[in-house]
Structure 1
């Protein structure tokens, strides 16, 4: 009779451990699945943001090209060389 009681307690303990492991596995799966779905939502939002930024950049590029002043071929004025005084000042070390 004593053997029957210990076998029943062993089966009950084994069943209890199995249920606890199952519950912990389900909780772990729930939190991993939840985190995964949140990350997927964030990735979708970031991809949407990237698409919007690309469209904005294209629009800005078109606006800049439209507002760019046209180059007029005017007679180029030769650049005047800087005064010799400027060259001398560059050579003198400041104290």
Structure 2
């Protein structure tokens, strides 16, 4: 009779262990699935932001091109004097 009781307890114990593992698996699946769906939502939002930023950049580029001043000869003269000043500075540095 003791053998039957031990065999019955073994099957109940294995059933309880199986149920606990099943419950743990379901809880883990729930959190992984939840994290995955939140990640997908965040990715969609980030893609939307990137699209909006591209549109803003295109509009800004058009605006800058429309408001761009005409090129004048004065900046070229300023560049020449700047290069002459750079040459003068190099001459002041002592060589070793």
TM-score (norm 1): 0.77
Provide the residue aligned with 1:14 in structure 2: 14
Bigger helix share: 2
Q: CA RMSD of the aligned region, Å?
A: 2.8
Deviations 1:9-43 (A, max 9, x none): 01100100000000000011011001101110110
TM-score (norm 2): 0.76
- The total of aligned residue pairs comes to 88
Larger Rg: 1
Distance of 1:61 and 1:50 partners within structure 2: 16
Q: Which runs of 5+ in 2 are unaligned?
A: none
Matches within 5 A, 1:8-47: 8-47=8-47
